[in-house]
């Protein structure tokens, strides 16, 4: 019997890579997309014709329950969330409802219908927030510093409660920063790789950036979604920290990106204090040893390979668009 994977947030970066993975494993893949977001299906690119789309309002509990009952998913991957963390300050209640509300409604639907569906909740290293020690493991205290992190933590505990109280097979992946050529340009990784490509092609001459000393645990999105799938194949439902376990600075990222196009980054990059995030935290780095041990998972793509892939993809995009300047401004 063909397994069915139900995915919220399917048109985002993780949704794309997870869909690609699941299709390769023979799953039927169904994406839940709100009626107001149907135009976002184009983001799936080559996968748009290979997945099914179910239109449903994620804030409508009855409609979500009907969707789960009709589709009878083997696995649910709840990836629904705002894509850009700083924007959560502009709409904290909306962020809470999209992240925690959607998780609660899907978990409740699974429980009420008595299904054996396995549930994955996309958590985030943002729930660790103001960390007191590094690296962070599954035992590290949670201290979120922004509405996004707080909402992710609420959803995380909601998932835990459904697992402990109702016996659902539900788990959370506490994922650190994971990137790809599909990252939107407002993210610092893509902002940098796009700028390096544009400067190489003569489309611009400067890049303004925030704190070059800011550090992140950057991995490849394709590696991270592999961990999501492995969590739901395990014998027991447990939560896992997923990351590379290695810190790199923004300076490392800039240097690597400009090196890919043969340029000295120091000739083109300037710092702008207004771009520094107020809730910046520099020691968010994963201890993925539990996932490596229990799931036989480890990152496959090195930092330098990831940056190279993103720069090359941006070069191709710009050339394919006849050297268009659309979307490349900082």
Catalytically active residues, by annotation: 176
Respond yes or no on whether the N-terminal peptide bond of residue 194 is cis (omega within 30° of 0).
no
Work out whether the CA dihedral 16, 22, 23, 27 comes out positive or negative.
Answer: negative
Distance CA 217, CA 306 (A): 12
**Block residue for tokens 């994977």:** 5
CA separation for the pair 43, 10 (Å, rounded): 9
Residue 31 forms beta bridges with which residues? 7, 53
Phi, psi angles (nearest 5°) of residue 168:
-70, 150
3-state secondary structure the chain: CCCEEEEECCCCHHHHHHHHHHHHCCCEEEEEECHHHHHHHHHHHHHCCCCEEEECCCCCHHHHHHHHHHHCCCEEEECCCCCCHHHHHCCHHHHHHHHHHHHHHHHHHHHHHCCCCEEEEEEEHHHCCCCCCCCECCCCCCCCCCHHHHHHHHHHHHHHHHHHHHCCCEEEEEECCEECCCCCCCCHHHHHHHHHHHHHCCCCCCEEECCCCCEECCEEHHHHHHHHHHHHHCCCCCCEEECCCCCEEHHHHHHHHHHHCCCCHHHCEEECHHHCCCCCCCCCCECCHHHHHHCCCCCCCCHHHHHHHHHHHHHHHHHHCCCCCCCCCC
């Amino acid at each position: 019997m063909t397994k069915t994977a139900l995915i919220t947030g399917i048109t985002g970066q993780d949704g794309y890579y997870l869909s690609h993975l699941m299709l390769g494993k023979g799953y039927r893949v169904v994406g839940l997309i709100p009626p107001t977001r149907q135009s976002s299906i184009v983001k799936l690119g080559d996968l748009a014709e290979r997945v099914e789309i179910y239109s449903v309002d994620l804030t409508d509990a009855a409609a979500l329950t009907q969707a789960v009952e009709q589709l009878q998913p083997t696995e649910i991957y709840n990836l629904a969330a705002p894509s850009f963390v700083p924007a959560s300050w502009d709409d904290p209640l909306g962020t809470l409802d999209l992240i925690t509300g959607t998780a609660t409604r899907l978990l409740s639907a699974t429980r009420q219908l008595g299904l054996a569906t396995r549930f994955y909740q996309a958590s985030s290293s943002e729930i660790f927030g103001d960390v007191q020690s590094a690296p962070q493991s599954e035992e590290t205290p949670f201290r979120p510093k922004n509405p996004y992190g707080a909402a992710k933590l609420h959803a995380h505990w909601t998932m835990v409660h459904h697992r402990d109280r109702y016996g659902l097979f539900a788990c959370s992946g506490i994922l650190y920063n994971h990137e790809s050529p599909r990252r939107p340009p407002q993210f610092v990784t893509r902002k940098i790789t796009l700028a390096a490509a544009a400067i190489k092609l003569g489309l611009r001459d400067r890049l303004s950036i925030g704190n070059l000393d800011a550090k992140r645990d950057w991995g490849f999105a394709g590696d991270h979604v592999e961990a999501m799938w492995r969590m739901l194949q395990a014998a027991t439902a447990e939560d896992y920290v997923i990351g590379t376990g290695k810190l790199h600075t923004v300076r490392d990222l800039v240097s690597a990106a400009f090196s890919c196009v043969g340029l000295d980054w120091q000739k083109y990059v300037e710092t702008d204090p207004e771009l520094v995030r107020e809730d910046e935290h520099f020691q968010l780095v994963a201890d993925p040893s539990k996932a490596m041990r229990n799931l036989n998972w480890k990152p496959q793509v090195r930092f330098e390979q990831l940056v190279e892939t993103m720069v090359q993809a941006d070069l191709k995009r710009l050339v394919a668009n006849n050297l268009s300047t659309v979307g490349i401004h900082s």
